Amino acid sequence: MDIGLMVEGQDGLTWERWLHILALAERLGFPTLFRSDHYFTGGVQKDSLDTYTSLAVAARETTRMRFGPLVSPVTFRPPAEVGRMAAQIDLLSGGRFVLGVGNGWNEPEHRAYGIPFPPPGERTARLREAVELMRTMWGPGPASYSGHYYTLEDADPLPKPAEGRPWLLVGGSGPKRTLRLVAEQADEWNSISTTPEAYAEKNSVLSGHCDAVGRDPGSIKRTMMTFGLVGPDQKAVARATELAARVMNRDSHLSLSERQQQSRERGHLVGTTEEIVEQLGRLAEVGVNEVQFQHFDFDDDAIPEFLAAEITPRVRDF
């Protein structure tokens, strides 16, 4: 199992902080660093870096890590534009870019920025067309695509990425349509904070879709992004719990133990070294290849350093 990092780019991320996180993650040897693609979440609008601009910077500031959005809502940008940016950032990075895409979910930011927010069924249909269109435009020669929502007509966006690139990640766990799209098109499936039992059920559904379309289920990387209320001792875990409650703006009325129990029920990882290793082992048993821990204290390197020093070596062979 691999351990990666994920950053909420709309939650007070500045250029100074982003450059520091890039250098930190590279120095500590994390294989992946992802960031969200939002204007804002919650009720407070904070410092927020444009996602694709920051990822182009990541391509130049790092040399080893895979990186990308986790995930880009299909509602935000025309898929032809996303496909062009993804191909060029992938070339700039030497093939390390991961294009993560999903349906989108946060209606208030759409409303604030004048972006239409279709109902769930339409967003899922748009995601399918967007993925098909981008796969087409990354291929050889001029590309044409005719869908209900999106079209191309002899578009030839040069320079083209290498064959099989960019790596395509689809986020979400909808059993009928999203996981079917994963089986048909994705290189990687990402879910969010899922208990091992729930993950095993979703993974079984994905394997069934793979069988239906004639694809080897093992050809799809399986990853999970989660909050980690972690640390080397109980004091550090308590501090992470308090900070997470402030970041997520919920559970402030609960006691520390109640917050931690609710986090466990939501699929978050909670505890010190041995507890986290045990929880990661259970996720590995149900098929998770990588867990991206959300790094939410941009001004403190303690948790990334703890993950790199204490957790990564213990789970590498899971």
253 lies in a domain? no
pLDDT bin (cut points 50, 70, 90) of residue 30 is very high
216 lies in a domain? yes
CA angle 192, 41, 30 (to 5 degrees): 45
Q: Across all residues in the chain, what is the average pLDDT?
A: 95
132 lies in a domain? yes
58 lies in a domain? yes
241 lies in a domain? no
φ and ψ at residue 239, rounded to 5 degrees: -65, -45
> Residue 42 sits in a domain of what CATH number?
3.20.20.30
Q: What is the pLDDT of residues 165-199, one digit of tens each?
A: 999 999 999 999 999 999 999 999 999 999 999 99
User: For residue 251, what pLDDT is reported?
Assistant: 67
Number of domains observed in the structure of the chain: 1
User: For residue 22, what pLDDT is reported?
Assistant: 98
Q: What is the mean pLDDT of residues 27-36?
A: 98
104: left (phi over 0), alpha (psi -120 to 50) or beta: left
219 lies in a domain? yes
Residue span of the structural domain in which 176 resides:
2-227+271-315
Amino acid at 292: Q
User: For residue 262, what pLDDT is reported?
Assistant: 86
Got the DSSP string for the chain? -EEEEEE-TTSS--HHHHHHHHHHHHHHT-SEEEE---S--SS-------HHHHHHHHHHH-SS-EEEES-EETTTS-HHHHHHHHHHHHHHTTS-BEEEEE----HHHHHHTT-----HHHHHHHHHHHHHHHHHHTSSS-EEEE-SS-EEEEE--SSPPPTT-SEEEEE---TTTHHHHHHHH-SEEEEES--HHHHHHHHHHHHHHHHHHT--GGGSEEEEEE-EEE-SSHHHHHHHHHHHHHHHT--TTS-HHHHHHHHHHTT-EEESHHHHHHHHHHHHHTT--EEEEE---TT--HHHHHIIIIIHHHHTT-
37 lies in a domain? yes
φ and ψ at residue 3, rounded to 5 degrees: -120, 120
**What is the C-alpha to C-alpha distance for residues 60 and 27, in angstroms, rounded to an integer?**
15
CA angle 293, 299, 304 (to 5 degrees): 30
243 lies in a domain? no
Q: What is the pLDDT of residues 259-283, one digit of tens each?
A: 888 888 889 999 999 999 999 999 9
**What is the C-alpha to C-alpha distance for residues 298 and 281, in angstroms, rounded to an integer?**
28
